[in-house]
Structure 1
């Protein structure tokens, strides 16, 4: 079974790529995998196995 998490990522005026990378790495360490990044809304959808 899968579980999902939706995160609204806030863009700033500087270091956007670094902040995005940090966000993605933080969730990856928790076992989350990106399945969608919506550019127009800066929304990231993550997925992971619930019984991990």
Structure 2
């Protein structure tokens, strides 16, 4: 069985990409993989859908 998590890039004035990368790497260490990404209309931010096995 799979479980899913949706995360959104948080808006910050400085180092937004680096912070978001750190957040994704943190989830990867917990077994999450990026399943899909969606651009939010009218902005440069994303929502990311993560997936992992529920019975790890």
For structure 1, the 5+ residue unaligned runs are none
Supply the RMSD in Å over aligned alpha carbons.
1.4
Say how many residue pairs are matched. 52
Q: Which runs of 5+ in 2 are unaligned?
A: none
Runs ≥4 residues deviating over 6 A: none
Structure 2 residue aligned with 1:20:
20
Q: TM-score, normalised by structure 1?
A: 0.82
